[in-house]
Amino acid sequence: MPVAGGENLDLRIKSAEGVPAVVTGADPGENTAMRILSWNVNGLRACVRKGFHDFLDSSKADIIGLQEVRAFEHQLEPRTRAPEGWHAAFSPAERPGYSGVAIYSRQQPTRIETALGEPRFDAEGRLIIAHFGRMAVASVYFPKGSGRDRDNSRVPYKLDFYASVFDRIQVLRRRGPVYVIGDYNTAHEAIDLARPKTNTKASGFLPEERAEITRWLDAGWVDTFRARHPDAPDHYTWWRQWGGCRERNVGWRIDYVLASPGANKRVTDAFIWPDVMGSDHCPVGVDLE
């Protein structure tokens, strides 16, 4: 089954049988000036072994934000640290093999930010913001609310992190268009996960987590995919790695491209690429005029 909007993606990135070919994402045409993608790679070194560089070369993206890199920059091979034709910037966690975000861009950013100014957040390597003149792209790996004992003990930390990022991007949007891309670790509405009734007490679909997404949208931020496909069901970005969840498309839509109002005006298409393998998440993105 072809990858939605990525007919030229290398076939070594294998397709999952049974996952619907989702929503647009056509190859960039004359009216497309830029493509921005986001992907939680669930360990960049592992994703490289599964075809990441083929994806990088054939995605026709101008900016790619990664989450859950789980490596220090020096642990990456040279072609991953600095691929030909790309500028790469990384923000790792202090803890080895944990979290970490990155941004690859065809154009060199004018400035890079990697800190919110709170040590408890910055130590986990969850934010990187690339500035391109007035435009900013933030790649963010929002925390899970579940703790080590599979309880919801990290929900307060998660909500505090949401609030801190929100305060930062509210400032950024005064200066120009902003895209906040990444793994939000929250399904906003029942349409955004396959089993909403059995997950009402699970982190990722708790009322207080969903309310935080609503707060962002009420403040003017736009969920670019849902705004363009308001009633489209069964479109997910993450699947558990057991029980054939991906093959049966029992998943969650927890990866988003949120845009400030001015940034959203430039979006011509918002899409999900469920057939791109290499992680338990799939890429999401937008095309801009």
Q: How far is CA 71 from CA 66, 100, 206, in A?
A: 12, 7, 30
Note the pLDDT tens digit of each residue in 195-211. Answer: 999 999 999 999 999 99
The predicted model scores a pTM of: 0.91
Residues 258, 166: contact at Cβ < 8 Å? no
- For residue 180, give the DSSP letter: E
Return the H-helix or E-strand segment holding 58.
helix 52-58
Strand partners, 105: 63, 87
The active-site residue out of 54, 151, 160, 183 is 183
**CATH assignment of 34-288, among 3.40.630.30, 3.60.10.10, 3.40.50.300, 3.30.70.141:** 3.60.10.10
pLDDT class for 10, splitting at 50, 70, 90?
A: very low
Helix (H, G, I), strand (E, B) or coil at 115: coil
CA atoms within 13 A on the CB side of 253: 27
Note the pLDDT tens digit of each residue in 161-193. Answer: 999 999 999 999 999 999 999 999 999 999 999
pLDDT score recorded for residue 28: 56
**The two structure tokens encoding residue 184:** 């939000």
pLDDT score recorded for residue 14: 41
Taking residues 124-137, what's their average pLDDT? 98
pLDDT class for 18, splitting at 50, 70, 90?
A: very low
**The two structure tokens encoding residue 48:** 């490289």
Q: Where are the domains of the chain?
A: 34-288
Taking residues 95-106, what's their average pLDDT? 98
Q: Is 275 one of the annotated active-site residues of the chain?
A: no
